[in-house]
Amino acid sequence: MSYLKITLSCLVMATHLLSLTFVTEVVAVNVISSEDELPQARKDQLTHIVQQDCGSCHGMTLKGGLGPALLPENLEGKPVLFLQHTILYGRTGTAMPPWKTLLTEQEALWISQQLKAGKIAKP
């Protein structure tokens, strides 16, 4: 990865961290849920996409295949924003494709959070 890319990723992460802090504060002050929240129907769709499409490489139960396992223990120490970036932009030189034309930043972030929390893989 070039220095420019790393710098850009850091910038992207910093921006997201800032907005996350902001959202947390807004939610704390104001109990009304954030309008950014994904609708449940879309969350269900995303869960399906991860199991089917991502599962074709990462395994239906995300235990790995052509791509590495995506269970919480495998993602330990990897920041959510790093995973989000991987999902959106893929990894050059590997089979991991970019998903930015199919998923929004918010959706990729949600998927990353679910993966880290172990909430997507079937038992």
- Residues in contact with ligand HEC by CB under 6 A are 49-50, 53-54, 56-58, 66-68, 70, 74-75, 78, 83, 86-87, 91, 94-97, 99, 111
For the CB of residue 6, give the shortest distance to ligand HEC in the complex, in Å.
15
For the CB of residue 115, give the shortest distance to ligand HEC in the complex, in Å.
6
The pair of structure tokens assigned to 4 is 């420019």
- Alpha-carbon distance of 80 to 109, in angstroms, equals 7
Between 87 and 121, whose beta carbon lies closer to ligand HEC?
87
Between 15 and 121, whose beta carbon lies closer to ligand HEC?
121
Q: At what angle do helices 80-89 and 105-117 cross, to 10 degrees?
A: 130
The pair of structure tokens assigned to 34 is 């954030």
Between 11 and 78, whose beta carbon lies closer to ligand HEC?
78
Q: 15: part of which helix (H) or strand (E)? A: helix 3-29
CA distances from 65 to 5, 10, 69 (A): 28, 29, 7
For the CB of residue 68, give the shortest distance to ligand HEC in the complex, in Å.
5
For the CB of residue 122, give the shortest distance to ligand HEC in the complex, in Å.
15
